[in-house]
Amino acid sequence: MSRSVLIVDDHERFRSVARRALEVDGWDVVGEAADGLSGLAEAGRLTPDVLLLDVMLPDVSGLEIARRMRTEVPGTDVVLVSTHEEEDYAGLALEHGARGFIPKAELSGDALDALLTE
């Protein structure tokens, strides 16, 4: 069964690479956004299974968007990503309501599936 994901990252190249990696592993990428507020709005409109969310965004921190997702789009799981290592953000991700954190270099559909089934 295909699961849907919305990718929120300010780097177009990363969104493109992430889209390909997730689609190869059976994920349905339903949209993309380049900043936090657009991502939050798109998540509300599209209600994807997962919001793949960069920690560092140009307008609002991904941590703040993760916190807001709990009340504004509660049916969507949030997974934070960053170029930083897991020990830098894994705890903060959980504290802000995300299901977890994946370093960008390790992102794949399989890694996303594994995190969501923990």
CATH number for the domain that contains residue 105:
3.40.50.2300
- Residue 118: predicted pLDDT: 79
Q: Please list the residues that pair with 50 across neighbouring strands.
A: 5, 77
pLDDT at 44 > cutoff 90: yes
pLDDT at 80 > cutoff 70: yes
pLDDT at 37 > cutoff 80: yes
| Phi and psi at residue 71, to the nearest 5° | -100, -30
Total count of domains within the chain: 1
* Residue 78 confidence class, pLDDT cut points 50, 70, 90: very high
pLDDT at 20 > cutoff 60: yes
Place of tokens 């900043």: 35
**Domain containing residue 49:** 4-116
**What span, in angstroms and rounded, lies between the C-alpha atoms of 27 and 72?**
23
Q: Per 3-state DSSP, what percentage of the chain is helix, strand, and coil (rounded to 5)?
A: 45, 20, 30
**What span, in angstroms and rounded, lies between the C-alpha atoms of 18 and 51?**
12
